[in-house]
């Protein structure tokens, strides 16, 4: 299973509980699928295999990013367990409430010292208004990535997953993602090694819907739905 598929499950699958907002699917999905099936032979084969399945998102930005930090470098099962313990600590999962938590209690929930530091920094960024959350809709992808990678524990890959799964940006191509590279190798190059340059060349036919094509590449590796 590709890293993106595993990680997205870490932060999404049955993650946000019954009080979470309803799942939402981007309005561009049908048009994107038509375009991809017309322009790309692999997409023409892949997309019909998954019926009406589509990218979906729910939750809020802070919770989504916090879960991505908790789930780093551990298994899906472990991430879920640690998240449930951590999420039970604050009254509600809000930045200000996280900042009131005791470090010892966070460590007792199963978080490493480094992840505690990352979560506190994330909460500080949100609580202090360092992130232009209300402006994200009008900002381009690279500007949002620049804001997010300024937070300790969030690199470009995590920021790109956030763009795809939370903000549902249509044209993100996460070239650092192992799952995407492996999927391109299997679907376009008969399993031969693929370079970032090869991947970019394949993705030329996907524009302006690289996020959608990437999602179907992940599904070709793991047929279970991917959410965030």
Q: Which two tokens stand for residue 148?
A: 């997010």
pLDDT at residue 76, as a whole number: 80
48-62: average pLDDT? 86
pLDDT digits (tens, 9 = 90+) for 141-174: 999 999 999 999 999 999 999 999 899 999 999 9
pLDDT of residue 125: 97
Distance (Å, whole) CA 9 – CA 53: 16
Instruction: Name which of 98, 130, 127, 124 is nearest 111 in CA terms.
Output: 98
Environment class of 156 (CB within 10 Å of its CB; exposed 0-12, middle 13-18, buried 19+): middle
pLDDT value, residue 59: 74
Q: Which of 37-46, 48-57, 154-163, 180-189 has the lowest mean pLDDT?
A: 48-57
pLDDT tens for each residue of 66-79:
999 998 888 888 99
- Max mean pLDDT among 14-23, 187-196, 218-227 falls in 187-196
For the segment 11-17, the average pLDDT, to the nearest whole number, is: 35
Q: How confident is the model over 89-102, as a mean pLDDT?
A: 96
| CA–CA separation, 57 and 78 (whole Å) | 22
Share of the chain above pLDDT 70, in %: 87
Does the pLDDT at position 192 exceed 80? yes
Region at 73 (left for phi over 0; alpha for psi -120 to 50; beta for the rest): left
User: Is residue 14 scored above 70 in pLDDT?
Assistant: no
Q: 131 or 20: whose pLDDT is higher?
A: 131
CA distance 77 to 83: 10
Q: What is the pTM of this model?
A: 0.84
């Amino acid at each position: 299973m590709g890293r993106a598929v595993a990680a997205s499950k870490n932060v999404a699958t049955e993650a946000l509980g019954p009080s979470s907002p309803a799942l939402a699917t981007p309005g561009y999905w049908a048009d994107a699928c038509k375009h991809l099936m017309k322009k790309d032979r692999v997409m023409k084969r892949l997309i019909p295999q998954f019926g009406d399945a589509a990218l979906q998102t729910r939750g809020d930005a802070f919770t989504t990013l916090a879960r991505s930090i908790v789930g780093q470098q551990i298994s899906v099962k472990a991430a879920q367990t640690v998240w449930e313990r951590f999420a039970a600590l604050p009254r509600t999962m809000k930045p200000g409430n996280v900042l009131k938590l005791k470090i010892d209690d966070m460590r007792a929930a199963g978080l490493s010292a480094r992840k505690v530091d990352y979560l506190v920094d994330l909460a500080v960024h949100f609580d202090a208004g360092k992130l232009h959350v209300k402006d994200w809709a009008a900002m381009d992808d690279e500007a949002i990535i620049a804001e997010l990678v300024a937070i300790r524990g969030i690199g470009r890959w995590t920021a790109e997953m956030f763009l795809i799964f939370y903000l549902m940006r249509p044209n993100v191509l996460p070239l650092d993602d192992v799952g995407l590279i492996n999927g391109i190798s299997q679907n376009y190059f008969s399993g031969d090694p693929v370079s970032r340059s090869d991947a970019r060349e394949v993705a030329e036919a996907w524009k302006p819907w690289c996020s959608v094509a990437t999602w179907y590449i992940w599904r070709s590796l793991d047929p279970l739905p991917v959410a965030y």
